[in-house]
Amino acid sequence: MDLEQESLNIQVNTGASKDIADSCNKLLNVQREVEELEEKLKKKKAEETFLSEQEIPNRMQEAGLSMLKLTDGSVVEIKPFYAAKIPATKTEEAFKWLRDNGHDAMIKNNVSLTFGKSEDNIAKSLVDELRQKGHNVKQVEKVEPMTLKGFVREQIQSGKSVPNDLFGVYIANKTKITTKEV
């Protein structure tokens, strides 16, 4: 049988093809809508951050207020906000600083087993021993994000300094509005 004769025997369900094409077009439209909504959400979050961390704290500071009670019973307060995250490019330097300044207990080592605080030397020793025996050991050192955030807050509130660049320190005043239960 030649190709021309064979092509006459092929049947294409054009209804199914049209349904597939329609569904693909619908998917593309939904994906565009999702992108637009994500962009709108991103803008609204930036607006929220500006109001919460800049405009309201500045206006309350200008008015000499740290707390304000609204007529509906809601309470507006400005509270300090701390965030910290070790940049990937500064991990080694940040860990060295923590070790050199007596905060090495914050560093955790993971080598198939999870080592807790203050077990830094045990983890390194075991990794070295396993590598000498020919095992391909993956070692991961980390500081838990909430531990780092709490550490930075504690250090700053007690008047001690920390290297902001090593710990990606971000400090802001944040507006907290507590609404009255109805």
Q: Which helix (H) or strand (E) holds 162?
A: none
Residues 145 and 86 in one domain: yes
Full DSSP string of 38-69: HHHHHHHHHHHHHIIIIIHHHHHHHTT-SEEE
Question: What domain range is 46 assigned to?
Answer: 3-65
Q: What is the pLDDT along the chain (182 residues), one digit of tens a residue?
A: 565 666 566 665 677 788 899 999 999 999 999 999 999 999 999 999 999 999 999 999 999 998 999 999 999 999 999 999 999 999 999 999 999 999 999 998 776 666 788 888 888 888 888 889 888 777 778 899 999 999 999 999 999 989 999 999 999 999 999 987 75
CA torsion 4-10-14-15 (nearest 10°) is 170
Residues 19 and 75 in one domain: no
* Beta strand segments in the chain, E: 67-69, 75-83, 108-111, 113-114, 140-142, 170-178
CA torsion 116-123-119-112 (nearest 10°) is 10
- Given 65, 86, 104, which residue is the final one in a domain? 65
Residues 72 and 125 in one domain: yes
CB 44 within 8 A of CB 112: no
Residues 137 and 148 in one domain: yes
Q: Which token pair is 30?
A: 């939904």
Residues 78 and 166 in one domain: yes
- Given 36, 65, 94, which residue is the final one in a domain? 65
Residues 135 and 149 in one domain: yes
- Given 34, 49, 65, which residue is the final one in a domain? 65
CB 69 within 8 A of CB 170: no
Hey, which residues does 94 pair with through a beta bridge? none
Residues 134 and 148 in one domain: yes
Count structural domains, the chain. 2
Residues 50 and 103 in one domain: no
Residues 42 and 112 in one domain: no
| Residue appearing with tokens 């959400």 | 41
Residues 49 and 110 in one domain: no
pLDDT at 91 (0 to 100) = 92
Which of 151, 143, 142 is CA-nearest to residue 169?
Answer: 151
Residues 147 and 75 in one domain: yes
Compute the half-sphere exposure of residue 113: CA atoms within 13 Å on the CB side of its CA.
10
Residues 122 and 169 in one domain: yes
pLDDT at 168 (0 to 100) = 92
